[in-house]
Structures are given as structure tokens and as C-alpha cells.
Structure 1
Amino acid sequence: MNLTREEARARADILTVTSYDINLDLTRGDTVFGSRTVVKFEATQGASTFIDAVTKDVSRVTLNGVELDPSEVSDGIRIQLPQLAATNELVIDADMFYMNTGEGLHRFVDPVDNEVYLYTQFEVPDSRRVFPVFEQPDLKATFRFTVTAPSHWDVISNSPTPEPVAAGSADDDVATSTWSFEPTGVLSSYVTALIAGPYQSVRSELTSSDGRVIPLGVFARKSLMQHLDAENVFDLTRQGFTFFEEQFGTPYPFPKYDQLFVPEFNAGAMENAGAVTFVESYVFRSRVTDATVERRAITILHELAHMWFGDLVTMRWWNDLWLNESFAEFMSTLAAAEATEFKQSWTTFASLEKAWAYRQDQLPSTHPIVAEINDLEDVQVNFDGITYAKGASVLKQLVAWVGQDKFMEGVREYFGKHSWKNTELVDLLSELEKASGRDLTEWSALWLETAGVNTLRPELEVDDDGVITSFAVLQSAVADYPTIRPHRLAVGCYSLDDAGKLQRIDRVELDVDGERTDVPELVGRARPDLVLLNDDDLAYAKIRLDEVSLRTATRHLKDFNDSLPRTLVWASAWDAARDGETPARNYVELILQNIGAESDSSVVLVLLRQLATTLAFYVNPDDRTAMTIAAADSLWELAQRADAGSDSQLQFIKAFAGHAQTASHLDTIEAIFTGSETPEGLEIDADLRWELVTSLVAGGRFAQPDIDAELERDATATGQLAAAQAKAAIPTPEAKAEAWHSIVERSDMPNAAQRSAIAGFMRVHDPAVLAPFVDQYFAAAPDVWGSRTHEIAQQIIVGLYPSRLTTQETLDKSGAFLAALDAESTSLRRLILESQDGIVRALKAQAVDR
């Protein structure tokens, strides 16, 4: 199933692919579908190669009119192609499997009406599960899809949906039709798509910058349409179109733009050209936080940016995956801040994306942004915080350095030269160099080709009158990644005004380079109450506060007028706690004393997650239970003090439910659930009911009959997933053993159900209930990795790692497993190493938290 970079390079050297003509028969039952593919390509005459095809069986292979014996040339993964001509036509008839893993052609049955819904997910290497294909991004071609399916379905692909033609009846007497799509433009196979089923849609249109009318569609399952706020999606799409077409200087490249919310999706979304798929939880059937609404907006803009960066212009090989993802991540935040209502999106970026990047960049598996990708296994575990968030952070710093106008000028030239082609890093950098007049060779070497995150600290001296006599920025790096980098950043000076608010009174923007950079501009000025390095969050670096600034921040964190500097101080305190520099309990206290005044929903969301992590992993285990109970008490008080119906009220209630464990806590949760003690303004809708049920299950108050009763009330796909999580959260050895069996020992659980069950399994108040599964985990891991698809295996390996048992014994067992693991299992090794590092970090933090 793997493909090495050398194999891909060798194949690209001898092939030029022209077109695929793909005929799919979706009327043959619930297990397999028919796939007939005609591929036209040029080749070095006399050469041999292979085409990728993950099949149930292959019935026919014809190469240039010559029949090849399928049993001799096909092994179910690759089909060998001997003695190629200069111009070739390949015809393959095969049966392919429907998947329930979110890979290939995923099949889902809606429990509400028993309707079947299909969608494809091809990134990285899974178009080969639907049709034979030269599965690598640099062998672009056109794709023509012809699809036979039940007549009452809608069928969507990259090209506009044609009028179907009646095709008779299937074996079950269901009327069928055939949809014959026009060929696509020149695409990489991983951004082709097919979505089929009785999806319903809302339609609209917009006018592109070149005058074309672009049809728009928003799709969802029939049973979810009542919850679909399509107009909001259309509004964001129009704002994004206008912004990106202006910034990129290139009209939208495809004939239509559909956005489809599909069931059991593994990621947030996928940038299929003109047919973007989104996770279905973005259809809000219950009230969600403002942070979730903003997250959906950023995702919508992220995928739209990919239509240019990724789809129109595509990386040659997966080592430049960051060119796709980092650029889309940066541009989506920029678009949100400058073209939509989400003006605070850089605050969200600082709290969410950069925190992800810093965390990933301190793992033993950290890597340069331009990563070495030797094969498909490498790239499949590389959709990480480096590729997305660090890359976007570095791009933000580059924009600050060269100027946004010059940056976009270079981007416009890049699209002008490379549309419909494949590129490498040098192609983009050369255009940015020409536009900005800056040599980016050293910048690339230091920022894109080395790993690790630097830490910046202020060093200042003041005289007896409180006047600054010297000021410098000190930069350090860890021993394993000692690179000292240049940073474009700002130093912000904040002082308390007469109203007690922290106001910025001065700002100096400069280039920091080397281990020490003096800042003479601040000498001779009165010392402010707080000095903030990396003000406005231009640079990618961890920051620390000097003692005076730290005292001010601790007392007055809630008094910042703006959310971004407050978020940067939050981030500094979090980094110090995670790094074991300050006691974890101090961070818990800082959150609980200040979060009630936090106005940014995304920041509240992040802080509550960090509170949960700190309590579960970083506080001294001897005090963990008492501190968690006290935190739950504080969260309930915060919920009661929050404005009725506010976003914070909802978040505090959910967090309280997550930490509730005493009889008093569970009494309160049950009272909210039954409606006898519902806080004013709080609506107990379907999703919140499930959170309360799961809280009561994890606390031992509710059991399986209560879960069954709630599922009968909410007999939907979302209800089924929530019930699976609640069932796995039952805190008995028998329930945990049953959950383990269904996840690890069986292999028929769909991807979304497995994800929910894993979350429930790991939700425990007493980690000791998980102790019997530590040895079972390490015993099962190699077989899980070798026998399951990538997505399913990674869910299990990461999700069931015994991280809650933060002991030296767990660390020793993890080390023994890695020592015995064969050298070929590089991706499995990476995942275990990353999880093991969490225990190392937790033990270090616990030792400080005394």
C-alpha cells in the first residue's frame, strides 16, 4: 500500500498522463461497486510501470488492445503495465469496496430514514480505492466521471452536474439513472470527488471577477436540512471569493462551487476542486459556541483558498504539502480579519493555531516545515501542527518582514506562471524575492528547513526614578534544535490608566537576531507596568515576561482592553506551566480567577481545554482529585454568574459537566438535565443533553438503560455517536473491557463510531480503571497498525495510548515497546514517541507542582 518518493519520481520520468474516463456503477448492493476506467497517457516506449488500484477483484485489463491476465498483473493494490508504447490506452474493469473508514468511497446509512449517502475522500492516497490511477500529485490529468445510481439520488462531482438519463432498474427494482459529467480541468487525482445520495441542497450564485456566473450549492442529508444555515455559508463564500480574487489576481478557476456537509467525515473539510466536503458537525442542530461558528467560517475560507493554492497550482510531491496547508491557513485568517465579521481572527489564530504549532514543535518528532517525505506513510502522519500552524505563523512573519503588498504581488505572479501545473518551494520563493527585493535564501534555510521553536525574554534595567537604562531581547533555543533565528516583532509597553485598564502606551517594531538584540528606542523612557514581547503576534516564538510584568499580568490580566495582548500573556503562562517552569496549580488559579472576564469565545474554549489538560496531567497526582473538585466548584460558580444565555454560560456549564464527580456535582448535573434546576437562559437542547448524560454516566450516576432511553429520544446519527461515547464511558471494568473489544479486537466499527467510543473509553475520573489495558495496548499496537487502514489505525494508536496513567511504569513500558519495534515501522514509531513525550512532560510538570 505504500509508495516511495523514488518510485513516484521514476514513474513521473516516463509518464505524461492525458485523461481518465471513469465509469462507476453504484447499483450493485451495499458492499461493492463497479469501476471501469480508461486511461490515456504517453510513455517512454518500451518502459514498464504500474498503476495503483485497491480492488476487490479485477476482471479485465487491456493495454493498447492487448488483453493482460488480471491474475498475473494485479495483486489487489497495483496493476503492472509492461512494454508501454509511446501513446497508450489502458482499460481496466474492477470491483471496488465501499468503505466505512472515511477513506475512498465512504458509505453511510441514515438511521432516520435508512437512506444511503456516499462521498469520496482521496487525500492522500485513496482515489485508488475508487478507480485505477497513477496516485501521485504531479501526474495531473483531466477526469471524466460517468455514474449510474438510483434515480432519486443527487450526484455531485468536480464538474457541474448534468441531467441524468434513465438507465433501467437495479436488482432490487429501484429505478436507476446515469449522470455523464464533462471532463474536469487538469487536476491531481486527490482533489477529484464524487458525492452521491439523496442529498438536498440550497442554490445560489455569484459573479466572478472575470464576469462568469459561478453556481453555488450547499448540500446536506435530508434529515439535517432543517438545521442548515445556508445563507451564512453563502455570505462567507461571497466574501472569500471577492477577497481571494483580488489578492491573487486570478479569477476563480472552476465552473461551479459546491459545499457539502457529509456524514462520518474524518477531518474538518477537504478541498476537492469545486466540490468541497465538510464534517457534518458544522451543521448546527443545537446551540454551539461562538468559537465553533468562527471555526466553521475559517474552515470555509481555508478550503476556498485551496481552490487556488493546492488545486489550481499543486505541489510536485508531498514534501511541499505545507505550501498547500500553511498558505490556506494564513490566507483564511487574513480573509476572516479583513473581509468578514470575524475581525478578531488573529486572536483566535494566536490562541488555537499557534498553541498547536508550539506544542508540535516541541515533540521529539518535530520536523522542518519543508519536511522530508520519503513515502506515503510519512505524509499521512504529517498533517500536523508544523505543516498547518507553524507554516502559517512563519508566513505571517514573512508578510510582516517583506510587506503584505509585496507578498501578494509575488503570489499573483506565482499564479500567473504556474496555473494548472505542479510547483516546488523555489517557484514561490523566487516570485516573492522578485516582488520584495529581499533575498530569501537565508530566511528559507532558517525558517523552513530547520525545526524547533525559540524562546524570547526581555532583559531590562531601570534607575531609581524608574527610567529604563538598558533593554534587550534575549533569544534561546533547546540543545536538540539550536538554531537562532531572525524575528520581525514588536515590543509593546502597557500601563494601567486611571480606570484600571491596561492600555498600550508605546510600541517599537524591530528585527531581532542573534542571542541578544538591544532595543535602544526604549532607553530613557519610563518603565511601563507591563512589557510584552511579540506584541501583535508577528513572530513565531515562545515569550516570557519579566518579574514586574508577570506580577502585573497576574493581577490585571482581565484588564487588557484588547483580546490579542491578553491572549499572548495567557499563552506565555501556559507555555511556562507546560514546560515545568512554573507550578501547574498557579496556572489553574490564573484561569479560574480571570476566565470569567474573558470576552473572546475562542480564547475561553482554549483556556477550558488547557484547564482540563493541566488538571489531568500536570498537577501533582496527590492533589489532583481535590483540585479537580475545587475547579468544578469554581466553574459552576462562573456559570451561575455568567450572563443568562451567554456564550460563556454555555461553555462553563459544559466544562463543569466535564469535571463533575462528587455527589453534589452529579446532583446539580441531574437537576439541570431534568429541568428542575436549569440556569436562566440555558436551553437544554439535544447535544447538551448528551453531554449531561455522559457526565452522569462517567460519574456512575447513569447506566446503560439511561443511555438507551436518551438514544430512543434522539434516534439520529449524532445520537448514535453520542450513545457510543456514553456507553464506553461507563466506569466499570466490564464496560471498559467491552469497549476495548469493540474498538481493538473487532474491526467492523465505522470511523466516527470508533472515534466516539475511544473518547468515552478514555473519559474516567479514576485512571486506575484503565490500568489493565496498558499491556494489552502495547501487545495489540503492531497488529492494529498492520491490519487497519491508516485513519482507523491512527485513531486507535493515538486515542488509546495510556496517557492518563502518567507513571514511570507506563513510560518504561512505552520505551520497551519502541526498543523492540522493527525499524520499518517509522510512522507507528512516531505516533508512540509523540504520545510518550506527553508522559515525560507530565512527570516533569508534576515534579514542579509541589
Structure 2
Amino acid sequence: MTVLEGDGRRPGAAAAYGRERDGDTSVPGVRNLTQVEATERARLLDVTGYDIRLDLSTAVLAAEGRTFRSVTEVRFRCTEPGAGTFIEVAADAVRSATLNGTPVDLGDWSAEKGLTLTGLAAENVLVVDADFAYSSSGQGLHRTVDPVDGETYLYSQFETADAQRVYACFDQPDLKSVYTWQATVPAHWRVVSNMPVVREEVAGEQTKTVHFAESARMSTYITALCAGPYHEVRYTHDGLDLGYFCRASMAEHLDADELHLITTQGFDFFHEQFGVRYPLPKYDQLWVPDFNAGAMENFGCVTHAESHYIFRSQVTDFEYEQRANTVLHELAHMWFGNLVTMRWWNDLWLNESFAEWASHWCNTHATRFTDAWTTFLSLRKNWGYRQDQLSSTHPVYTEMPDLEAVEVNFDGITYAKGASVLKQLVAYVGIEPFLAGLRSYFGKHAWGNATFDDLLSELEAASGRELRKFAAQWLETAQVNTLRPEVTIGADGTYQQVLVRQEAPAGYPTLRTHRIGVGLYDLTDGRLVRRERLEVDAAGDRTELDVLRGRPAADVLLLNDDDLTYAKLRLDERSMATVVQHVAGFESSLARALCWAAAWDMVRDAELAARDYVALVLAGLPAETDINLVTATLRQAASTLTFYADPAWAPTGWAELARTAKVALAQAEPGSGFQLAWARGYLAAARSPEDLAALRGWLEGRGAPDGLTVDTELRWSLLGSLVANGAAGAAEIEAELARDRTASGEREAAYAHALVPTAENKAAVWAQLTGPEALPNWRNRALLQGLSHPAQVELTAPYRERYFAAVGQVWASRDSEPAQEFAQLAYPTYLVEEETVAATDAWLAGEGHPAPLRRLVAEGRDGVLRALKARARDTGSA
């Protein structure tokens, strides 16, 4: 699965959305399976096959079509005849169940508990006939209605354990099996699953039944079924049958040729490097609405977030690269995760970290996005650093006692830090031994389940290196080190001494061994030219670089050059002074990214005043030539002004950022991605009447810079900025929605309406978010994102107290995804005050809060504490 890192405050900056008009379609809860239960059940059972029959003809109906019928036949062996077990059935109602022809007592069944099975035979056949609820939360079998043509679309989303919302199953990763699906649907629909269709039969006047081939062995969470009048494009490549799908109303925006190019580049690269061909006869990708994540690696039936990766308007190469990375991430999962699967969710990190590492590796070597590691550092790795410094930090490898713990662990440590550790492991053992170990791992464990220890054994055998200490140091400890140079330069301009100081937080004192590059850069005609690069191990609290003694001092000494290790970076005084004036002088975008990341770390750690960081951005960013760095750094500058700047100075900072963005916008090549990126930066920073008037002019067709296309998505962004600042209102939103009566338009309108800066409006939004009926996931997310805004801090101040009064009730009454979003996005993040910390402490002191919820609330507190320290630093600098 691809999880998108972002602040979640803007529809275009987070995951996907959709819509639902058929009333309450909430689904029951699922069993919170524990690792102990899963281990025992795996010991007891061998699941030999599933036959799943779904009647989805009710999907096009309104209230009377709230549920669908699912009949599951499960065949399984039991190693201890006479024993008992349970099977997950998160249904709305169970019609009947028989075990080996005998009715099963349904008296103890519930969606949360599943179905108890007793008196098992050596060979068993269980048949469960049940009605399951369509979902509007993006979990289970999600249903959405397209406002353009009224057509209904379905897709499944089963990770972590939501297959049980569609069919009766032993819903854990190490009880793999084969699956045979059949689905009765409206006659004009397409149905897509893990395997090809083998036949279709007329099932009624307006329905048909689609039968699929028996699948390969796989885990329940990567089975899939999608249905609806999807638009389809097919290609063949290297013997593979490749399909690309989207809603019919989005067909004109599906750039299938570009998606096919990235996909086939990925297949060719992974086939060569992994030494194992993709094992299924076809590979389909669907871009679906309402998706909660970025994408999901269902075996041979990958689902992607439509709103994030189908582009209705002009985008920059930043968006194209992010999409390529997601396509390759899910493709890598076909081997690592699907062909060989983790035994239990303890190794979730490895599943996701490998795909994260492999996608950037492939992007760098096989596509036009050759600077993908720069993007990894500036976006994904910064996400890991931030996550790793929260109170909820945890080792990369962490025990998952139950599914509730897993749900909140799709985080920056699991993805980005884990991928950083793998990247360093590759540097440590060498790419060829790493690949040799990987090929052996695939060969030994294909179609089965394995652990990180299994992979480590193969890597040790292939490389001849002992890796257990490396693994323990990097995977079993938490938090991040800081590498800080101490430089002494003699009167003759040569280095007398260069030390690398390694620091660790007091609560997490681990000092690790870091394999790092040390780059020496000289300033020549405004360019920073790398004279030399050393590769050394930095260990303990002090590492002296003896090899540099007596050498001419560089203008910039860059630790962790080429970004081999996972550590926060600092620059010495001489290097920092050079970088402030000449950051654009580095030829390598990765070197520039390291310096931008160091400055960002420093402002977050209250070592650099927010206004000084903003000054660095204003001076250096207009010359930046990497679109990803421009995009990421503009976001960080906005976050700096929102959270870390002295509130008394912040208006000055916003004005300076808007001025610089406007100048850079005017100087950018007309029609270029850089022009669009700076336009976005300008409208995000605009606060003054003059700037807001300029934005209104763009919206009305006046004064836009030459070459800037004020298209649909940019219009919504412009309108959101105007509404948030009180320069537009409900009438303008409805007028814009009339121009864009689409699913995306409805999502954007909901967000914009939530932004309207009146007390009455915020109260109405809050009432919807906390009401007794769960909202469809697209509306829930849009309202949460629009509830608060940096320009509306005082307006949303009353919701600090209301948040703590409501968060427990919302958590208990929602599915896991919307519950987590409320806990995170409704938290009073913008109220950077001691009162917010005190209110959080009072809530945390209460009894009975679920551990995952406590974690998310405590993370909100961490952000406020960090912001308070940074603001104090900025105030002091004045």
C-alpha cells in the first residue's frame, strides 16, 4: 500500500476522495485479531480453497440496496480433528452456515467476534450465506455514485483485515489459499479480480454472472474485486496482458500511454533485477474514487487513488514523479508482499519499506525520473524524521499484538525510515550481493510466508557479512541521531581537525554506526564543485576524519553526501555561510536537498529562527531547478510561518513569501511546471487585500501571468484561498460547482464551504463531523480539512474544548480510517498555546481511552510542544 505523506489540510495534498448518495452505508466492525490467536489458528489450519459468490445487482439501488449477498465455501484441513476455531464474518446478517453439512449455531455470532466453529474434522467444508453492507468508508466493498452520469462503481479494499467485510474468511496473512470468484452484476458492468475472467453468463434480463479463474495462492488482504461500468484500455508487453481502468466520466483524463510506459519500465527492470518473472497471467490497475490511501497492491488487481493520480488539469513533474513512484511501489509488492508475504504484521515495515526502497531505485534507473532519491529525501525521508521524533516513536521492527496496533502503524517509520535502513543495507553489503540474497529469498519462499530473519539469512549467505548486529542497531531501536561536524582550520587554510559528533536524544541514547559520504565542495564562479568524496564509518559520539588533516579546507563540507545513512545533518559555520549564499550552486540536486533538509531540521529543532529560515528560502529557492525541491520547500516555508514563527512577525513573513513567489512566478518560463509551482505558492501565501484582489482577477479572467492556465483545479485552489481569507463566500462556491459538477467538484466545494470564516458555518461543519451518522469518507475528509486554516486560528479556538469532549465518541462510532482522520485533523494543531498542551494532558490523564487513539492525540501534543519551542526561538531572535 502507498500511504501519502502530507499535512492532510487540503484535498489535493492528501489521499483520495469520492461521494455517496445512498444514505447511511456504515459497515459493522471487524474482529480485533491478536497475534496469539493468529499463531494458534495457523498452527491448526491449512486453508485449501475458497469459492466466493457475490450478488452485486443491488448496488445500483438506493436505500433498499444497502447490502449484498455473499455465499462463501471454504475448504480447510485441521491438524487436530475435534478441535475448534473461529472464522471472521463481518456481515450485516448471517442467513445460514453449515460445517461439513451440519448447521452451525449462529447464536454466538457477531460481526466483531466472527463465527465459532467446533468439532472440526481432518477435512472440512464450511458454507456461509450472509448479507454484507456496502461501504462508504473506503473499507470493505466501497460503493460510490458518479454525479456526472449516475453510474455506480464498486471496489474492494481489504488491508489490514477487511476481506471479512465481503466474504467469510480466515483473515490473516499466513493462511494463504486459492480463490475462485463469481459475481452477478448489471449487464453493462465490467468486473475485475485477481485473475482473468473465464466466462460470463446471462443471469437475468439486466444482469450477468462473471466467473473468474482459480487464483494463485495468496493472502486474504490482497484478494480483490472491482465492478462497475469502468472504462478499460489494454496493452500487451513481454507476454503480459496489462489493463488500465477508470470511471467512464474520467476516461478523457486517463493518460494510459504514460501509465503504460512507467508500468512496463518497471516490469522490465524488476524482471531483470529480481530474477523471477511476475507470476500471474495479467496485471490490471484501476484508478478508483474515494480511496483512503495512495494505492493498494492487490495481486494482479491494483487500485490507485483516482483524485491523486488522474490529472484533470495541468500538473508539474512533481505530480508525475509521485505517480510513477506509486505505480512502481505497488508493482514491487507483486514480489515482495504478494509472492512472498509476511507471516504476521510485525513485518509490515519490511513489506512497505522494501516497496518504498524498490520504487525509488527503479525510478532512478529505469524511468526519466533519475533524481528520485532527491525526492525520497525531501519528502519521504523527512516524513520519517518527523515521525521518529514523536512521543509515539517505535523501532522499525515492532511487535504488533493485534490489528488495532497495526492500523496506526502505517507511518513514516514503517515506510520511510525502514526504506532508509534498506538503502543503507544495500550500501553496506553491495547491490549485487543484496540482489543475490533477494533472488534466493524469492526462490525459497515463493507462494509462502516469511520473516525478516529469513531475508537476513539469505543476505548474509550472499554477502558473507554478519548482519545481525546491523539489524539490531537499526531496526530494534527508536529515534534518530544527529551528525554534527566540528571543524578546525589553520592559518594556512588547511584542516587541522575534522570531527563528526554523533548525538542521540536523552531518552533514546543509541549511537549507531553510520556509513556516510563526506563531500568537499569548492566555490568556483558561483558553482559549488565537488573536489572529493570520502566514504567513512561514523561510530560512537566522536569520529575523527584523520584523512582530512592538512588538506585545503573546502567551502562546504557536507556530511552524508549522497544521503547514504538515516540521520539528521548539521553544517559547520563556514559551510553554512556558503550555503546560505550559494545553495543553488550545487550541481547535484541531492546535495541541495541535504542542505535544505538540514535547514528545515534546524528550524524544527529551534536551532534556527523561523524568520532566518524563511529568509534562506526567499534568497535561495527562486534559483532552484528541481521541481520537487521547489514544491517541498514552499510547503515547509508555509508550515514554518504557520507553526514556528512568532505570531507577531508571521504576517511580515507571509507578505515576503507572497512577494517572492509573485516575482518568481513572473520570471518562470510561461506554461512551465515551475510557473505553476510558484503560482500555487503565491496563492497559499496571499493575505493582503492587494494579493487577494489579484487572485480574484485570475479567477475572473483578468491579470493572470502569460502562460499560466487557470484551469479547473487551479480555479478551486484560488477560490479556497479567497474563501479562507474572507474574500469570497458561498455564492462563489456554488457558482464554481455549477461549472464543475463532477465528483472532484463536489469534493472541492465541500472543502471550500467548510472554509467559510463564520462562527455559524464552523458550528455547522462540526455538527456534521460529530453527528450520529457517519459521513462518506470523501465528505468527512473535506470537512475536516476545511474546518481549520492558518488564517482562521481565532475562529476555531472554541473547538479545542469540543475536540476533547467529542473525540472518544467519534472514535468509537466510526470505521478505522475516518476515526483516525478525525483524531488527527480535528486536533487543535493551530492553537500553539500552553492551554492546548494542558487540555491534552487532562484528556490523556483520563481512563479508558483506546491505545491507538491515545497515540494519535499524544502526537498532536508533540507538534504543539515543538511549535512552542520554535516560536520562542524566533521571538528571541527578534
TM-score band, normalised by shorter chain: over 0.9
> Residue 349 of structure 2 contacts residue 396 of structure 2 at CA under 8 Å; is this kept in 1?
yes
Task: Provide the residue aligned with 1:198 in structure 2.
Answer: 229
Distance in 2 between residues matched to 1:812 and 1:657, nearest whole Å: 35
Which of the residues 277, 297, 320 maps onto 2:303? 277
How far residue 522 of structure 1 moved from its aligned partner, in angstroms, is: 1.3
Deviation readout 1:742-774 (Å, 9 max, x if unpaired): 122243421122111111112241301001111
Q: Secondary structure at the match of 2:94?
A: strand
RMSD across aligned C-alpha pairs, in angstroms?
Answer: 1.1
Task: Provide the residue aligned with 2:468 in structure 1.
Answer: 441
How far residue 626 of structure 1 moved from its aligned partner, in angstroms, is: 2.8
Which of the residues 200, 223, 227 maps onto 1:164? 200
> Residue 336 of structure 1 contacts residue 342 of structure 1 at CA under 8 Å; is this kept in 2?
yes
Task: Provide the residue aligned with 2:333 in structure 1.
Answer: 306
Deviation readout 1:360-397 (Å, 9 max, x if unpaired): 11011011111121110111000000010001001111
Structure having greater relative contact order (Cα 8 Å, sep ≥ 6):
2
How far residue 629 of structure 1 moved from its aligned partner, in angstroms, is: 2.6
- The equivalences for 1:221-370 within 5 A come to 221-281=247-307, 282-370=309-397
Structure 2: runs of 5+ lacking an equivalent = 1-30
Matched, 1:92 2:119: no
In structure 2, give the amino acid aligned to 1:406: P
- The equivalences for 1:516-665 within 5 A come to 516-665=542-691
> Residue 581 of structure 2 contacts residue 620 of structure 2 at CA under 8 Å; is this kept in 1?
no
Which of the residues 38, 41, 46 maps onto 1:8? 38
Q: Secondary structure at the match of 2:159?
A: coil
Which of the residues 823, 842, 845 maps onto 2:867? 842
Matched, 1:389 2:420: no
Deviation readout 1:392-451 (Å, 9 max, x if unpaired): 001111111110011001000000100000001110000000011110110011001111
How far residue 124 of structure 1 moved from its aligned partner, in angstroms, is: 0.2
Deviation readout 1:642-687 (Å, 9 max, x if unpaired): 2211212111111221222221111010011111101000001110
Task: Provide the residue aligned with 1:210 in structure 2.
Answer: none
Deviation readout 1:619-639 (Å, 9 max, x if unpaired): 012222232233222222222
> Residue 74 of structure 1 contacts residue 80 of structure 1 at CA under 8 Å; is this kept in 2?
no
Q: Secondary structure at the match of 1:163?
A: strand
Matched, 1:126 2:162: yes
Distance in 2 between residues matched to 1:63 and 1:426, nearest whole Å: 38
> Residue 240 of structure 1 contacts residue 304 of structure 1 at CA under 8 Å; is this kept in 2?
yes
Which of the residues 21, 39, 54 maps onto 2:51? 21
Matched, 1:830 2:842: no
Distance in 1 between residues matched to 2:477 and 2:335, nearest whole Å: 27
Matched, 1:677 2:708: no
> Residue 370 of structure 1 contacts residue 449 of structure 1 at CA under 8 Å; is this kept in 2?
yes
Distance in 2 between residues matched to 1:631 and 1:603, nearest whole Å: 16
Q: Secondary structure at the match of 1:621?
A: coil
Matched, 1:109 2:145: yes
Deviation readout 1:326-372 (Å, 9 max, x if unpaired): 00000110001011111010111111111011111101101111112
- Percent identity for Structure 1 against Structure 2: 50
> Residue 356 of structure 2 contacts residue 415 of structure 2 at CA under 8 Å; is this kept in 1?
yes
Task: Provide the residue aligned with 2:503 in structure 1.
Answer: 476
Distance in 2 between residues matched to 1:473 and 1:311, nearest whole Å: 42
Compare 658-667 and 406-415 and name the one that shifted more. Answer: 658-667
Distance in 2 between residues matched to 1:264 and 1:572, nearest whole Å: 36
Distance in 2 between residues matched to 1:603 and 1:157, nearest whole Å: 38
Q: Secondary structure at the match of 2:394?
A: coil
How far residue 232 of structure 1 moved from its aligned partner, in angstroms, is: 0.8
> Residue 199 of structure 2 contacts residue 212 of structure 2 at CA under 8 Å; is this kept in 1?
no
Q: Secondary structure at the match of 2:587?
A: coil
Q: Secondary structure at the match of 2:199?
A: coil
In structure 2, give the amino acid aligned to 1:134: F
Aligned length: 838
In structure 2, give the amino acid aligned to 1:13: R
Q: Secondary structure at the match of 1:71?
A: coil
Distance in 1 between residues matched to 2:108 and 2:388, nearest whole Å: 47
Distance in 1 between residues matched to 2:487 and 2:712, nearest whole Å: 55
> Residue 20 of structure 1 contacts residue 141 of structure 1 at CA under 8 Å; is this kept in 2?
yes
Task: Provide the residue aligned with 2:10 in structure 1.
Answer: none
In structure 2, give the amino acid aligned to 1:269: A
Task: Provide the residue aligned with 1:42 in structure 2.
Answer: 77
TM-score after normalising by structure 2: 0.94
Task: Provide the residue aligned with 1:172 in structure 2.
Answer: none
Distance in 2 between residues matched to 1:766 and 1:302, nearest whole Å: 38
Distance in 2 between residues matched to 1:606 and 1:132, nearest whole Å: 44
Matched, 1:509 2:509: no
Q: Secondary structure at the match of 1:238?
A: helix
Distance in 2 between residues matched to 1:650 and 1:236, nearest whole Å: 24
Task: Provide the residue aligned with 1:777 in structure 2.
Answer: 803
Compare 632-641 and 549-558 and name the one that shifted more. Answer: 632-641
Q: Secondary structure at the match of 1:481?
A: coil
Compare 637-646 and 588-597 and name the one that shifted more. Answer: 637-646
> Residue 132 of structure 2 contacts residue 166 of structure 2 at CA under 8 Å; is this kept in 1?
yes
Distance in 2 between residues matched to 1:112 and 1:164, nearest whole Å: 28
Q: Secondary structure at the match of 2:378?
A: helix
Q: Secondary structure at the match of 2:369?
A: coil
- The equivalences for 1:811-826 within 5 A come to 811-822=837-848, 825-826=850-851
Deviation readout 1:454-485 (Å, 9 max, x if unpaired): 11111222211011122221111001111111
Compare 63-72 and 783-792 and name the one that shifted more. Answer: 63-72
Distance in 2 between residues matched to 1:763 and 1:290, nearest whole Å: 27
Task: Provide the residue aligned with 1:184 in structure 2.
Answer: 215
> Residue 697 of structure 2 contacts residue 704 of structure 2 at CA under 8 Å; is this kept in 1?
yes
Q: Secondary structure at the match of 2:185?
A: strand
> Residue 511 of structure 2 contacts residue 541 of structure 2 at CA under 8 Å; is this kept in 1?
yes
Compare 529-538 and 22-31 and name the one that shifted more. Answer: 22-31
How far residue 77 of structure 1 moved from its aligned partner, in angstroms, is: 4.3
> Residue 56 of structure 1 contacts residue 76 of structure 1 at CA under 8 Å; is this kept in 2?
no
Q: Secondary structure at the match of 1:162?
A: strand
- The equivalences for 1:735-814 within 5 A come to 735-814=761-840
Q: Secondary structure at the match of 1:370?
A: coil
Q: Secondary structure at the match of 1:768?
A: coil
Deviation readout 1:769-817 (Å, 9 max, x if unpaired): 0011111110111111111100010111101100000100011001100
Q: Secondary structure at the match of 1:508?
A: strand
Task: Provide the residue aligned with 1:461 in structure 2.
Answer: 488
In structure 1, give the amino acid aligned to 2:837: L
Structure 1: runs of 5+ lacking an equivalent = 170-174, 208-212
Distance in 1 between residues matched to 2:847 and 2:435, nearest whole Å: 47
Distance in 2 between residues matched to 1:839 and 1:216, nearest whole Å: 47
> Residue 617 of structure 2 contacts residue 637 of structure 2 at CA under 8 Å; is this kept in 1?
yes
Q: 1:257 to 1:45 in 2, by over 3 A?
A: same
Distance in 2 between residues matched to 1:290 and 1:789, nearest whole Å: 35
> Residue 774 of structure 2 contacts residue 814 of structure 2 at CA under 8 Å; is this kept in 1?
no
